[in-house]
Amino acid sequence: DAGVTQSPTHLIKTRGQHVTLRCSPISGHKSVSWYQQVLGQGPQFIFQYYEKEERGRGNFPDRFSARQFPNYSSELNVNALLLGDSALYLCASSAWGGENNEQFFGPGTRLTVL
């Protein structure tokens, strides 16, 4: 199965720490988006990267940053973790960066901040 992969699956951190989450898109896909899903809510858009450039940013503080590598994989970094950062972080891959194209979600990384 060549779907979207994310690592790690689960992560436990303490307040103030830093975390890096990783995503590998479907082969051939050039766009990666990151979403935060708090328990019981819909996913919230954090970032979109297309062709290694940031194409969109949601309403998240500067503690959140991301990048995309030449192989189109991506990292999401969160600094100075807060309890409220506990959530499922989803990565979505699509063939290109515009609207009207299907996004495929990865299994997510469950982050718990204690």
Q: Which residues form the interface with other proteins (CB under 8 A)?
A: 31, 33, 35, 40-45, 48, 50, 55-56, 58, 90, 92, 94, 97-108
- Spatial CB neighbours of 62, under 8 Å, sequence gap ≥ 6: none
**Which value, to the nearest 10 degrees, does the dihedral of the CA atoms of residues 40, 41, 42, 44 take?**
-130
Nearer to other proteins, 36 or 81 (CB): 36
Q: Return the number of the residue (17 or 27) whose C-beta is nearest other proteins.
A: 27
Give me the residue label for tokens 């063939």.
Answer: 95
- Of 16 and 98, nearer to other proteins (C-beta) is 98
